Chain A
């Protein structure tokens, strides 16, 4: 009993004494080599015929398809359609989420009016209302915007409210002592304090935006990469289907990178986000 009681503080002191050093394992190298090897294995298995091309085409043939579709202009066209949809839906959803979040964060009355409704609606997986959306909007563009907006609104709303709640009240008090007006207090202390949380909300929203798009575009869209995939399914073009899946992944990665870049830029003051902070 007594040994465990002593062991706690001792180990703590020991780890505190030696600063956490990077281990000798080349993390970065290994973390990239393994997926590269898996890709190579896939290529070899596909070429040797172990995996039939109708099941899973070789990465190289997906690459060729991508090149071919880019040359014909088909891929850029569909990609552009999808990006546009995502951007419009996200702009609407993030805008509404941010405004509602700020209102709820500041005003008890707004919270009383808004919050419970949002919590109730949020309990519904947003993709579950797809049939209803189709009844409301038909197969036009607005339904797809609506679905993306719905998927992006909640994470932004929740994280904005959370961020505003988490602002250090002692800083607000200091602002009052310094004679800041309410507006200036919001600008100087509250929004910057809530920003890490809001940006996290944005990243979650981006994930939802693509999810919404995948579903929305496979149902009756006249263009877009989701439409490409649906079309390819009709003709058993597995290479195009895989290409679309890869595209979704690339888009997800790119938007996440952009969001992270935004974090690094806007949160340069924050020790956890600073470029020199040594984190990934």
Chain B
């Protein structure tokens, strides 16, 4: 039984078909990365899975407990960090749960800070804590590292890998970054013209940056995206 099951889902904006009878299944604990050029429909797919946009056709099964980490942290600036993490939780346990989620992302001592005082990487870690505190069955990551500097991004990759291994939600990561997709995912999909164009299982060996399997998979993926180095 898959956590996410999409069969022949279609989404149109006017005459443009953004998702074209797309099929996708993600198991519990599985980390799937989705690559594709701008405008290929990957964000539309993520938003459909998040329940933010409807689909026009096909069937879509997603779990109730699902959360999104967006490219921007989207913290409420008028709430302290811990309240942002606890947003929507029952009041009685909110503080304790937020605190332990913040501990997991290494920001326990920022619980009472205002969001404006955080750096970009810290704010994104708070957003991650906000997603995890809900114990999601499906975690949707919409280019969450795109706005971070290279060093912070590397640290975030490690953090996300650890956290998803511990909590084992189904994960869909939408990204432009081929390296990031290979390093984090169990399976990398490329999307073209509203469909899944190719599927690649990532072997353990391929996760070594600089190894031969890594380079090979990277070359293949870049080729599929129409990029030559």
Contact = CB atoms under 8 A, between A and B. Distances in A.
B116 A188 contact: no
A170 B87 contact: no
Interface stretch (A46-54, A105-113, A172-180): A172-180
B76 interface: yes
A179 B88 contact: yes
Contacts of B174: none
Contact of A188 (B52, B72, B79): B79
B114 A269 contact: yes
Contact of A176 (B52, B79, B116): B52
Contacts of A267: 78
Contacts of B50: 177
Nearest to A177: B68
B67 A178 contact: yes
B52 A173 contact: yes
A193 B79 CA distance: 11
Interface in A175-210: 175-180, 184, 188-189, 192-193, 195
B67 A177 contact: yes
B124 to A, nearest CB: 13
B74 interface: yes
Contacts of A179: 88
Interface string A239-280: 000000000000000000000000000011111000000000
Nearest to B67: A177
Interface of B: 50-52, 67-68, 70, 72, 74, 76-79, 87-88, 114-116, 130, 134
Interface string A140-184: 000000000000000000000000000000110111111110001
A79 B50 CA distance: 59
A175 B76 CA distance: 9
A174 B76 CA distance: 9
A146 to B, nearest CB: 35
A170 B88 contact: no
B155 to A, nearest CB: 23
Nearest to A271: B116
Contacts of A174: 68, 70, 74
Interface of A: 170-171, 173-180, 184, 188-189, 192-193, 195, 267-271
Contact of B76 (A177, A188, A268): A188
A268 B116 CA distance: 11
Contact of A178 (B72, B77, B130): B130
Contacts of B51: 177
Given A184-B88, A188-B87, A269-B114, A177 B78 contact: no
A151 B61 CA distance: 55
B9 to A, nearest CB: 19
A193 B74 CA distance: 13
B77 A189 contact: no
Nearest to B80: A269
Contacts of A195: 78
Given A173-B52, A269-B79, A271-B116, A180 B74 contact: no
A174 B67 CA distance: 9
Nearest to B133: A178
**Interface centre among B72, B76, B114, by most A CB within 10 Å?**
B76
A269 B77 contact: yes
B78 A192 contact: yes
15 contacts: A170-B72, A173-B52, A174-B68, A175-B87, A177-B51, A178-B67, A179-B88, A180-B87, A188-B79, A188-B87, A189-B76, A269-B78, A269-B116, A270-B78, A271-B116
B78 A171 contact: no
Nearest to A173: B52
A195 B134 CA distance: 29
